[in-house]
Amino acid sequence: DKVSAAAGLQTKVLIELVKKFERLYSRAKLAVNCLDFADLEHYALKLLTDESSSEDNLAPSKTALALRRRYKYIFVDEYQDINPVQQAILDLLSCEDNVFVVGDVKQSIYAWRGAEPEIFLERLKPARQGRVDRADALNGLRVDLNANFRSAKGILDFVNKIFGRIMTASFAKIDYDESAQLKPALTSRAPSPVPRDRGEPIVEFHILDEQNRDTDLQNQQISEIADDENLNPVRNSTTVSNGVNVISSRQRQAAM
Identify whether residues 162 and 83 lie together within a single domain: no
- Shared-domain flag, residues 43 and 134: yes
Whether 59 is in a domain gets the answer yes
In a domain, 203, yes or no: no
3 state SS for 184-217:
ECCCCCCCCCCCHHHCCCCCCCCCCCHHHHHHHH
Q: Whole-angstrom Cα distance, residue 64 to residue 54?
A: 16
Q: Are residues 90 and 118 in the same domain?
A: yes
Pairing of strands 245-246, 238-239: antiparallel
Q: Is 64 inside a domain boundary?
A: yes
204 in a structural domain: no
Same domain, 161 and 193: yes
Average pLDDT over residues 99-123: 92
Question: Same domain for 51 and 26?
Answer: no
Q: Tell whether 80 and 157 lie within a shared domain.
A: no
Q: Do 111 and 76 reside in the same domain of the chain?
A: yes
Residue 212 has pLDDT above 90, yes or no: no
d(CA 70, CA 94): 11
CB 200 within 8 A of CB 188: no
User: Based on the domain organization, do 41 and 138 belong to the same domain?
Assistant: yes
Please state the rounded mean pLDDT for residues 125-129.
Answer: 80
Task: Assess if residue 125 is contained within a domain.
Answer: yes
Domain count, the chain: 4
One domain for residues 64 and 123: yes
**Shared-domain flag, residues 193 and 112:** no
Give yes or no: residues 88 and 181 share one domain. no
| In-domain check, residue 205 | no
pLDDT at 48 over 70: yes
Question: Above 70 in pLDDT, residue 233?
Answer: no
3-class DSSP state of 100 = strand
C-alpha to C-alpha distance for 253 and 255, rounded to whole angstroms: 5
CA torsion 152-166-126-185 (nearest 10°) is 0
Residue 127 counted as domain residue: yes
The model carries a pTM of 0.68
Range(s) of the domain holding residue 64: 36-143
Average pLDDT rounded to a whole number, residues 104-122: 92
Look at residue 31 and tell me whether its pLDDT is greater than 80: yes
Reported as a single tens digit per residue, the pLDDT across 163-178 is: 998 898 888 888 898 8
Same domain assignment for residues 139 and 44 = yes
Helices (H), 130-198: 134-137, 153-166, 169-172
- Give pLDDT, residue 4: 61
- Residue 91's nearest CA partner among 74, 72, 69, 109 is 74
